[in-house]
Structure 1
């Protein structure tokens, strides 16, 4: 009986530690990222804000994204072509080609 309580205690401690570590590894929410990128706090990202916010980001190959690629990404996100990205456009999943 004591062994079962000991195992249960160790398991409980392990779950608590794991949940704390796992919580720290989560990506920030898109709304938070959007708000940080929105330098003038108008609720939209213009091309300059988007490029500045994405500067230093890398592609899947580990290569830094250049300005031309970032401009293409901006154009894809700007679904309604109003030259700005709102939060809904920013949160939208990329369409596979």
Structure 2
């Protein structure tokens, strides 16, 4: 072989091809979560009170679910205790 012609074993990349395609495309959930990051950032920056309220609501819901799983009968006991007895009259009722 002459000096101008490369060996057949030499691999020359094609300059006009694009990047290699990914093995798998990301799931639609991952794509949606990634797209939501800047939207959530702007929402938190624009509405800090609402963001704090939403964070507190989520934290309360998570804590409530954890407590309900740990003590499944607790809510029933509280509701039973809060119900009025059959002979109770309304508070502040005038005699008459």
TM class by shorter chain equals under 0.3
Larger Rg: 2
